[in-house]
Amino acid sequence: MTTDKLIQRATDFWNKQERYLVSVYSEKYQYRQCCNDQTILESAPGHVAHQRSLPGVNFPTFFADFGTVTNGTFWGGKPRRDSTGENIFLDPVAQTIDEALALDIMPPDHPDLDAARALRLFRELRSRPELEDLWFRTTDFQGPLNTAGLVLKEEELFVAMYTDPGKVHAFLAKVTDFLVELGRYFMRESGSRVCGNIWPYTFLPCDLGLSITEDLMPLLSPEQYREFGIPYVKRLADEFGSLLIHCCGPWGRHVENLAAAGINICGVEFHYPFTRIEELAPLADTTVFVPYLMVEKQNEFKSHAEYYDHLLMTTGDNYRYWFPFYFENGESLQFAKDHGF
Q: What is the pLDDT of residue 2?
A: 80
pLDDT digits (tens, 9 = 90+) for 119-130: 999 999 999 999
Res 6: pLDDT: 87
pLDDT of residue 306: 98
Query: In the predicted model, what is the mean pLDDT of residues 52-73?
Result: 95
Instruction: Average the pLDDT over 35-47 and give the result.
Output: 97
- Residues of the chain above pLDDT 70, percent: 100
Identify the pLDDT of residue 13. 97
Tell me how far CA of residue 51 lies from CA of 48, 333, 339, in angstroms: 5, 12, 18
Cα gap 235→241, rounded to integer Å: 10
What is the pLDDT confidence band of residue 3, given thresholds at 50, 70 and 90? confident
Mean pLDDT of the chain: 96
- What average pLDDT does range 124-147 have in this prediction? 97
The count of other CB atoms within 10 Å of the CB of residue 96 is 16
Phi, psi at 311, each rounded to 5°: -60, -45
**pLDDT tens column, 152-170:** 999 999 999 999 999 999 9
Quote the pLDDT of residue 134. Answer: 97
Mean pLDDT of 2-29: 93
Q: Is the pLDDT of residue 283 over 90?
A: yes
Task: Give me the count of residues in the chain.
Answer: 341
> Which of 27-36, 83-92, 324-333 is predicted with the least confidence, judged by mean pLDDT?
83-92
- What pLDDT score does 4 carry? 86
Q: What is the pLDDT of residue 172?
A: 98
pLDDT, tens digit, for every residue of 144-155?
999 999 999 999
Q: Return phi, psi of residue 339, to 5°.
A: -100, 20
Going by the DSSP 8-state scheme, the letter that residue 288 receives in this structure is E
pLDDT digits (tens, 9 = 90+) for 101-113: 999 999 999 999 9
Q: What is the pLDDT at residue 82?
A: 81
- In this prediction, residue 83 carries a pLDDT of 76
d(CA 299, CA 209): 36
pLDDT at 315: 98
At 36 the pLDDT is 95
The per-residue pLDDT for range 181-229, each reduced to its tens digit, is 999 999 999 999 999 999 999 999 999 999 999 999 999 999 999 999 9
pLDDT of 81 over the 90 cut: no
Question: Residue 73 above 90 pLDDT?
Answer: yes
Q: What is the pLDDT of residue 52?
A: 95
Give the model's pLDDT for residue 198: 94
* pLDDT for the residue 88: 86
Close Cβ partners of 224 (under 8 Å, ≥ 6 residues apart) = 161
In angstroms, the CA 208 to CA 199 distance is: 17
